[in-house]
């Protein structure tokens, strides 16, 4: 079964986006249409589409809702669970790519439990924000309702 939600991100340079997402982060290209500036990517079951569209044109296939201005995707982050968050962070560091937020362990309340993430945030070449995490499991929630 294919993913039921696959974001398609418009990017200013498909080459730069692929260098980041594939060469550094570790996504694989499932298929692409270079003639259209398009690539469909996968990372451990998380799927993502990239389409080069650096500016608003008369092409009705490009769906900019406003003039493109970096950072793209303001106000959203894409959370992606991976088995080896440290490996991705290591490749970013080796490439000299800055993190938006450093690696941390974070616990989030979910009803009577907390779920843990080991996570960091990074922006891609167009400023889209990605939160990569590995699951730390669950623990009893320690909170008091007022």
Residues in contact with 125: Cβ distance below 8 Å, sequence separation at least 6, in sequence order: 11, 12, 13, 16, 17, 19, 20
Determine the pLDDT at residue 56: 52
Q: pLDDT confidence of 131, banded at 50, 70, 90? A: very high
Domains in the chain with CATH codes:
8-54+73-140 (3.10.180.10)
Instruction: Give dist(CA 85, CA 131) in Å, integer.
Output: 10
How does DSSP classify residue 74?
T
Instruction: Give dist(CA 67, CA 26) in Å, integer.
Output: 30
Express each pLDDT in 41-95 by its tens digit: 999 999 999 999 865 555 555 666 677 788 888 889 999 999 999 999 999 999 9
The residue-averaged pLDDT of 102-108 equals 96
Residues in contact with 24: Cβ distance below 8 Å, sequence separation at least 6, in sequence order: 91, 92, 95, 97
Peptide bond just before 71 cis, omega within 30 deg: yes
């Amino acid at each position: 079964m294919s993913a039921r939600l696959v974001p398609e991100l418009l990017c200013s340079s498909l080459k730069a986006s692929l260098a980041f997402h594939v060469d550094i982060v570790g996504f694989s290209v499932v298929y692409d249409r270079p003639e259209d500036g398009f690539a469909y990517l996968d990372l451990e079951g998380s799927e993502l589409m990239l389409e080069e569209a650096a500016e608003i044109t008369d092409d009705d296939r490009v769906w900019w809702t406003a003039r493109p201005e970096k950072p793209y995707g303001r106000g959203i982050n894409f959370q992606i669970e991976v088995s080896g968050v440290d490996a991705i962070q290591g490749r970013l560091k080796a490439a000299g790519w800055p993190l938006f937020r450093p690696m941390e362990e974070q616990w989030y309340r979910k009803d009577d439990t907390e779920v843990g993430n080991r996570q960091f945030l990074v922006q891609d070449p167009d400023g889209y924000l990605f939160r990569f995490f590995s699951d730390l499991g669950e623990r009893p929630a320690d909170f008091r309702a007022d």
